[in-house]
Amino acid sequence: MAKLQGKVAIVTGASKGIGASTAVYLADAGASVVVNYSSSKQDADRVVAEIVAKGQKAVAVQANLSKEADVRRLFTETKKAFGRVDILVNNAGIYEFAPLDAITPEHFRKMFDLNVLGLLLASQEAARHIGPAGGSIINISSVAGKTSLATAAVYCATKAAVNSITGTLAQELGPHKIRVNAIGPGMVETEGVRTAGIDKGELRVNIEAQTPLGRIGRPQDIAPAVVFLASDDAAWLTGETLYISGGYR
């Protein structure tokens, strides 16, 4: 039997990149998957079609994770579609780089509202909906949460917050049999990275030079670890951040 057979997973920000790959891997492991998206409906539908074509179950649900009403609707639609919630992958997030003199309240709020508040709101709803048998919350953080990157003060701060929240919620939700862990990827080649031009820039060159395995990551490097943390293979693992970065520190 597939290790997540009968489970229901929500993956936020799952229309592209790490989220899309994670949704496919969770479905391959037997889970029914809700592919959340904010604006990329066509991409989300493509992920759902890939999953359904293999005889697995998935639906796409639009929700802006920085809006409380949207988060509640995401979980309501999940229960309508599949009847339960067992796994939440808090993947939705954004990054924008700005030097200190260019940081504005809008820049700050845009990233903190999604990367931190959105994660908290989704986790709050997950705690309300996961049943007495327990479940798993997996937060997608970043090596940026423990490193110092010039022009990334706000982004790094959001990911440091994710790491702190992971440990705090593990303490709080452990008595309810809900495990909370995080994954901290290094630089991963995603649509967002390519759109920003980072995949061909000096930052990539410098990171690869400092990475023992000599390359940046791919979404499929991250997704199997999410399946592990969601499964009973990680039944005694909570409050941890697993860094998947090719050895980059």
pTM: 0.96
Active site members: 155
Find all residues with CB under 8 Å of 66, minimum gap 6, and list them: 113, 114, 117, 118, 121
Distance CA 74, CA 198 (A): 32
pLDDT above 80: residue 200: no
Query: Is residue 89 predicted with pLDDT exceeding 80?
Result: yes
Boundaries of every domain in the chain: 8-191+219-244
Q: What pLDDT sits at residue 191?
A: 81
- For residue 223, name the pLDDT band (cuts at 50, 70, 90): very high
Check residue 245 and give its pLDDT: 96
Helix (H) or strand (E) holding 128: helix 119-129
Give the per-residue pLDDT at 196.
64
Q: pLDDT tens across 184-194, in order?
A: 999 999 887 77
For domain 8-191+219-244, give the CATH number: 3.40.50.720
Q: What pLDDT score was predicted for residue 117?
A: 98
pLDDT of residue 249: 86
